[in-house]
Amino acid sequence: MNQLATIDYIVFIVYFIIVASYGIWIYRRKNTHDGTIDGDSKDYFLAEGSLTWWAIGSSLIASNISAEQFVGMSGSGFKMGLAIATYEWMASITLIIVAVFFIPVYLKNNIATMPQFLSQRYNSTVAMIMAIFWLMLYVVVNLTSILYLGAIAISSISGFDLTLCMYLLAIFAIFITLGGMKVIGYTDVIQVFFLILGGLATTYLALNLVAEHYGSTGVLKGFSLMTNQANDHFHMIFNRDNPNYLDLPGLTVLLGGMWIVNLNYWGCNQYITQRALGADLPTARAGLLFAAFLKMLMPVIVVLPGIAAYVLFKADVFGAEMMQDGSVNPDRAYPVLLNILPIGLKGLSFAALTAAVVASLAGKANSIATIFTLDVYKKVFNESASEKQLVRVGKISVVVAMILGVLIAPFLGIDKKGGFQYIQEYTGFVSPGIFAMFILGFFWKKTTSTAALFATIGGFLLSVLLKFLPNMMDLSFLAPIGFAVKNAAGVYEIPFLDRMGIVFIICVLAMIIISMIENSRGVKTNGLEIDRSMFKTNRSFAIGSIIVFVLITTLYTVYW
């Protein structure tokens, strides 16, 4: 039944009051300390020097985990099983790599935004092209998908109108975002608390439902029954004959394109790195390590419920609820589970889902405001803008971005593609080129601006070419080496993650060649300030990192 009981509403209202009250307290405390209404731009956009390691780590996870994980990744768990957890578990290792090698470069060179890095390392043309691109990507792909998927899930649980849910989510997120990065960072701690508590409660009930259906009790028994009833859903590495191989092509998740997905997302993304750019290096690293530990927990919250829904679906516990337009829609798995939760717990899980959506919306809107204000408005429209003007423009851009998201989201067909796949597909066309541009920009001083432009534009065109290549020629000759498999239409296609790996390698090679040619002609480059001492870590960070590596290795060994 798609309806919340009175107790569920009480639980949700308590969550809303706690988050809103804490946000208002942080905002007033910040402004009292500043002695101004608006503060300065660095404080508003980056919360410079005021976020603790636990706030940074919580904010990273709160901003990352949203409807596309709760709905989309649970749906992927229903469809393909535990293997989809590779996006989460490989991210744990990625966060450590970013903490060791990326964040020190940003902080040492006083980088506040990704376009600023590109301007400092290459030139203003590259920076402006990417600033406009990121704004379009964040609004048209990320903001809209979070809004729409979140509204679908909340609507299916509460019975409220879909459009009304979108507007309410947008208003709640604007309320949080207008307080600036410090308010977002500290309210995210509460959001993560509700997210994890409600998420674990849903998983607990889902595993119990499996156990009870087969005449037993307890989550451990439920998990054991799941591994028996859906053994094919507990393998991390797919063979080539697996129907889901196109989504997760075997060892590519360990040795190939998955690294590009994760390193680009966690290391070259304003939306994510912004949380750490206002802190000192030890605090930023500790926050990223904390996020790595939280990230390992996420599959328990978002993937296991999807597998439980699959087992219950096979056992005919529910069937019609999973259907849409005459076929099974895996993305309905999580909402269906929430609708069979007991009163009270349903409200808690509803609050967890709302917390995830609102936190992601707030983080994304703040990143949009930061890039637009500091990299577009200040450089193009008003170079002499005061701190107060910059903060005001940032707040206006938050509201405008959210309005645009609400207006265009229903027309993008996000629900048809599946939220998780929608975001991966559209960002995947540009991720390889962007990551190549960043990684060479970091660690090879001879990289030129022309080479960076090639990676940006050429990488995108090459990704599009490889996507549509199966329509132009037979790729069966790539099948023996694992770089092409048959899709649903029987046509040989290059798996998405392999395409990313191929494009990345070509971009790096082309950038090296272009740079060497230009270097021979005397073209000067703008190197960054880097020394080896930047990459040294303290003992506690090293120990924590080793624990993460051992746990991830164990998980892959057990569920290979």
What would the mean pLDDT of 136-157 be, rounded to a whole number?
Answer: 81
Question: Is residue 328 helix, strand or coil?
Answer: strand
CATH number of 45-415: 1.20.1730.10
Average pLDDT over residues 208-213: 88
The average pLDDT across 247-256 equals 83
Mean pLDDT computed over 195-199: 78
Q: What is the pLDDT of residue 253?
A: 83
Over the chain, what is the mean pLDDT? 81
Q: What average pLDDT does range 264-291 have in this prediction?
A: 82
Domain definitions of the chain by residue range? 45-415
- Mean pLDDT over 271-299 rounds to 84
Contact at 8 Å (CB) between 73 and 140? no
Q: Residue 487 corresponds to which amino acid?
A: N
Is the per-residue pLDDT at 46 higher than 80? no
* Residues 257, 432: Cα–Cα separation, whole Å: 9
Spatial CA neighbour of 45 closest among 324, 367, 426: 367
User: For the chain, what percent of residues have pLDDT higher than 90?
Assistant: 16
Q: With 80 as the cut, is the pLDDT of residue 485 above it?
A: no
- In this prediction, residue 551 carries a pLDDT of 95
pLDDT over 80 (residue 185): no
Confidence of residue 450 (pLDDT cuts 50, 70, 90): very high
pLDDT tens track for 296-352: 988 998 899 989 988 888 887 776 777 666 677 787 788 788 777 778 777 877 777
pTM of this prediction? 0.82
Classify strands 485-486 and 327-328 as parallel, antiparallel or unpaired: unpaired
d(CA 116, CA 118): 5
Res 37: pLDDT: 46
Mean pLDDT in residue range 149-174: 82
User: Which pLDDT band holds residue 214 (cuts at 50, 70, 90)?
Assistant: confident
> Is residue 44 classed exposed, middle or buried when 0-12, 13-18 and 19+ CB atoms within 10 A define those classes?
buried
Low-confidence winner among 144-153, 285-294, 393-402 (lowest mean pLDDT): 144-153
| φ/ψ bin of 197: left (φ > 0), alpha (ψ from -120 to 50), beta (otherwise) | alpha
H helix runs in 268-413, sequence order: 270-273, 281-302, 304-314, 333-339, 345-371, 387-408
Mean pLDDT of 442-462: 89
Tokens of 161: 């109108």
**Residue-wise pLDDT tens digits, 425-438:** 677 788 899 899 98
What number is the average pLDDT over the span 155-167?
Answer: 82
